[in-house]
Structure formats: structure tokens, C-alpha cells
């Protein structure tokens, strides 16, 4: 019996160890790769464990210019860019990221790479400290310079999993999927082929409008604790001498209309004021920090939705939540200079406390004008807001019972 148990245990250990080694070597999710043939390999459109790959790449590549944020920044901001010269640029934004996830990525980068420029995209609904990206294990965040040995142990431990073994076998059989390349092949920006595949799955731009509006309005941010975490991180980054460019994502104007209809406009303005005060204070302390607002109502964000225009695709947006990289190039040009010939004069404004009251008043007027000029989009936003309000009431009744 003892011999039998030893044999079973030995074979099991060999099987588990063999699977772990195979998973680590094949690395179907590119958790520990950078600038090699593996990241160029075609793969399924849905990237698993993206946070693992990006935290490793930040440590291996050591970018001088770092992008932070959620999927809007990940899809929209191209890297590298001529404005940055030969400086290494990496888009470390994560799909589904909350403000808390971006803060963790900033802390990681400060430990392993010390970026000299940080570009950070924010928006109100995701401005909270919840774990937005489920695969962003906080153990991936560097806490000391000896990151790689500890990271190798994490990768090996993660390699002992059934789902990773299944996908390793698919890679070896050639059936894993061949839609697009990892974001690592584009310095962290999402491959356009991946986005097109997702849009096809949604059924096109028009079909994605309502789900994205619901998703945006449902966000729990902005929260006070998130603002304090943001201020603390800005202070930390300023202490390294990095220049900071914070920007409000140019989500489609229908998103802001939905927030207004849901009764979140006052919170939106207060959040905007909190961000502005934080950056003004950082600048007063000698930090090279600036805050830009590309959201609200302008010639980019008010592009007609397919429901109103009849077009199959939009010029500036994949759908109302995510802007294309032609918009991202406008954002970067506005903040860092370069060719601004394609940037509309009403797109983007630098915020400061002395001008904020007037700016917000102008935005309220523009909001009312948008509602009158775009009745189809306004009706969609109102329907989404009413639906979300009804869902919230039902949830409250259920909790009381």
C-alpha cells in the first residue's frame, strides 16, 4: 500500500510539475513576455490576464512615458508617438480598471521603472477603489527592487491551473485562436483587430450603444476615498520629479446626458472641482502637473450616434464609451504639442480653479443645447437612466425584505 501511495503521489507530482513547466514555457496568456516572438503570435481577441502581462512588461521595458487608466485609454492612446522622441513609451492602462487599479499600476511603475512622464485618463463612474480588473492580483505590484525572482514564483504558481493547461494544449495543437496580437505587440495599446472582433460580437456600433450607456451610468464612482487616493498618488509621482498630464476621457456626450438624467450631474461637477483643486495644489508646490478636460460637449463628443445618423460606424468612436486612436492622437497633441492641425478648436481645455465656475456654467448650457439638438440621443440616454433608476429601486426593496 505504501509503495502504491508513493507511486500515485509521484505520478501526480510529475503530472502537475509537467503541466506547470509546459504552461510557463508556452505561456498562452503572455504573462512574462516582452519584445519577442511570443507577443507577436496571433491569439483570441479576448486577452486573459492582461494585468499580468502589463505589470511584467513595465518592469522589463522600464518606460520613460507611462499611460494609466482604463480601457478608454488602453484603446485610444497610441504608443509610441513622435512627440516623445526616442523615449520608451508604454500604455499600462487596463480594461475594466478602476481608479484603484490605476493607482496600483502607478505604484508598481514607481518601484520598477521610475517614469519621467505619466499620462493618466480618468472618468467619474470608474473613479472608485473597487477591484475593477479581476485579474489584477495586487501581488503583481512590486514592493521592492528584486521583482523578477518573486514574479517568477507567482507565474509558476499561476501556471498550475486547469484553464491555463487547456489553453496551452490549444496553442500546441494550433487551435487557440488567431484573431489578433497581444497588446504587448503595440506597447500596451489594444490591437485594432481585437476591437473589430469585439464590435462584430456586439453586432456593430449601434447594437453596442445601449449596453455601454447602461454600463457607464451604473458605475459607482466618483467616491471620496478614491479622490484621496488620487491626491496621494499625484503627490507620490510629483515627488519623483515626473511630469503629470491628467485628462478627462472624451466619452460620448450621450454618456453625460445619461448621467444628468440619472441625477449624477452635481456629483460630476464636484468631482471635477476636486481634481482641479488637487492639480492646482500640486502645481503650487512646484510639480509639473496639468489637468485637461476633453469630455463634455464639443465637436468630437457630440458626433451623432448611429441611431440618429444611420451610419454603421462612427468617425471618432468605436461606440459611445470608447474613442478611436485618432481622438487619442488629438489628446496627446493638445497636451504635448506637435501637429494640432486635426484638433478641433473646441476640443479640450486646461482646467484651473479660477476658470472652473465659468467653464461648468458653459457646459450646463451646452448640455441643454445638446438635448434640444440631438433628440434621438437624448431619448436613449433618458431611457437608460430611467431603467437604471428602476433597477436601483428594485434592489433597495429586495434588501429591505
Maximum distance among all Cα pairs of the chain, rounded to whole angstroms? 83
Q: Would you state the pLDDT for residue 25?
A: 87
The mean pLDDT value for 33-58 works out to: 93
- Evaluate whether residue 316 is within a structural domain: yes
pLDDT at 83: 81
Question: Where does residue 48 rank: exposed (0-12), middle (13-18), buried (19+ CB within 10 A)?
Answer: middle
Q: What is the pLDDT of residue 11?
A: 47
Phi, psi dihedrals of residue 91, rounded to the nearest 5°: -90, 100
Return the pLDDT at 363. Answer: 97
Domain contains 153: no
**What SS3 string covers 255-266?**
HHHHHHHCCCHH
Q: What does the pLDDT look like over 262-289, one tens digit per residue?
A: 999 999 999 999 999 999 999 999 999 9
pLDDT of residue 332: 96
Q: Establish if 15 belongs to a structural domain.
A: no
Each residue of 57-78: pLDDT tens digit? 999 999 999 999 999 999 999 9
CA distance 199 to 306: 14
Of 21-35, 62-76, 235-249, 251-265, the one with minimum mean pLDDT is 21-35
Does 163 reside within a domain? no
pTM higher than 0.85 for the full model? yes
Among 2-6, 82-86, 210-214, 382-386, which is the least confidently predicted range?
2-6
* Average pLDDT score over residue span 171-188: 92
Residue 141, helix vs strand vs coil: coil
Exposure of 68 in the CB half-sphere (CA atoms within 13 A): 31
Does position 1 have pLDDT exceeding 80, yes or no? Answer: no
Q: What is the DSSP string of 290-323?
A: EEEE--SSSTTTTPPPHHHH--SS-SSEEETTEE
Residues 345-367 have a mean pLDDT of 97
Asked if residue 175 has pLDDT above 50, the reply is yes
* 1 domain residue, yes or no: no
Calculate Rg over the CA atoms of the chain.
Answer: 23
Can you tell me the distance from the alpha carbon of 140 to that of 17, in angstroms, rounded to the nearest whole number?
22
Which pLDDT band holds residue 135 (cuts at 50, 70, 90)? confident
Domain range for 372 is 50-136+175-400
Instruction: Give the tens place of pLDDT for each residue, 357-385.
Output: 999 999 999 999 999 999 999 999 999 99
- The span from the CA of 1 to the CA of 378, in Å, is 74
**Which percentage of the chain shows pLDDT scores above 70?**
95
- Domains identified in the chain, total number: 1
Report whether pLDDT(8) > 70.
no
Closest CA to 348 of 333, 361, 358: 333
C-alpha cell, 71? 480601457
| Average per-residue pLDDT for the chain | 92
Q: What are the backbone dihedrals phi and psi of residue 260, each rounded to the nearest 5 degrees, phi first?
A: -65, -50
pLDDT category at 6 given cuts 50, 70, 90 is: low
Domain of 201, CATH number, reads: 3.40.50.1110
- Within-domain flag for 263: yes
In a domain, 353, yes or no: yes
> Is 36 inside a domain boundary?
no
Amino acid at each position: 500500500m505504501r509503495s502504491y501511495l508513493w507511486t500515485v503521489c509521484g505520478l501526480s507530482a510529475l503530472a502537475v510539475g509537467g503541466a506547470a513547466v509546459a504552461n510557463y514555457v508556452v505561456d498562452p496568456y503572455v504573462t512574462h513576455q516582452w519584445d519577442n516572438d511570443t507577443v507577436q503570435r496571433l491569439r483570441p481577441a479576448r486577452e486573459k490576464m492582461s494585468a499580468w502581462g502589463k505589470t511584467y512588461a513595465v518592469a522589463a521595458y522600464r518606460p520613460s512615458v507611462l499611460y494609466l487608466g482604463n480601457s478608454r485609454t488602453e484603446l485610444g492612446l497610441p504608443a509610441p508617438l513622435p512627440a516623445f522622441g526616442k523615449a520608451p513609451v508604454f500604455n499600462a492602462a487596463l480594461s475594466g480598471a478602476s481608479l484603484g487599479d490605476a493607482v496600483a499600476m502607478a505604484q508598481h511603475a514607481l518601484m520598477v521603472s521610475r517614469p519621467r512622464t505619466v499620462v493618466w485618463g480618468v472618468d467619474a463612474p470608474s473613479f472608485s477603489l473597487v477591484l475593477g480588473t479581476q485579474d489584477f492580483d495586487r501581488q503583481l505590484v512590486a514592493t521592492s527592487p528584486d521583482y523578477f525572482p518573486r514574479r517568477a514564483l507567482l507565474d509558476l504558481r499561476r501556471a498550475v491551473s486547469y484553464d491555463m493547461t487547456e489553453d496551452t494544449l490549444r496553442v500546441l495543437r494550433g487551435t487557440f485562436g488567431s484573431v489578433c496580437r497581444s497588446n504587448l505587440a503595440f506597447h500596451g495599446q489594444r490591437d485594432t483587430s481585437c476591437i473589430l472582433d469585439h464590435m462584430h460580437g456586439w453586432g456593430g456600433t449601434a447594437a453596442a450603444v445601449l449596453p455601454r450607456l447602461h454600463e457607464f451610468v451604473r458605475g459607482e464612482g466618483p467616491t471620496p476615498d478614491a479622490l484621496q487616493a488620487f491626491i496621494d498618488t499625484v503627490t507620490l509621482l510629483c515627488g519623483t520629479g515626473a511630469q503629470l498630464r491628467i485628462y478627462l476621457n472624451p466619452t460620448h456626450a450621450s454618456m453625460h446626458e445619461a448621467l444628468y438624467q440619472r441625477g449624477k450631474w452635481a456629483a460630476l461637477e464636484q468631482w471635477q472641482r476636486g481634481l482641479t483643486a488637487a492639480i492646482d495644489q500640486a502645481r503650487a508646490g512646484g510639480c509639473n502637473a496639468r489637468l485637461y478636460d476633453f469630455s463634455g460637449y464639443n465637436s468630437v463628443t457630440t458626433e451623432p450616434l448611429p441611431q440618429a445618423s444611420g451610419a454603421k460606424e462612427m468617425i471618432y468612436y468605436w461606440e459611445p464609451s470608447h474613442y478611436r486612436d485618432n481622438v487619442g492622437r488629438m489628446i496627446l497633441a493638445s497636451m504635448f504639442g506637435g501637429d494640432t492641425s486635426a484638433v478641433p478648436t473646441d476640443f479640450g481645455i486646461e482646467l484651473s480653479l479660477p476658470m472652473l465656475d465659468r467653464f461648468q456654467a458653459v457646459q450646463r448650457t451646452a448640455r441643454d443645447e445638446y438635448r434640444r439638438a440631438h433628440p434621438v440621443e437624448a431619448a436613449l440616454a433618458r431611457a437608460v437612466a430611467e431603467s437604471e433608476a428602476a433597477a436601483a429601486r428594485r434592489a433597495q426593496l429586495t434588501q429591505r425584505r
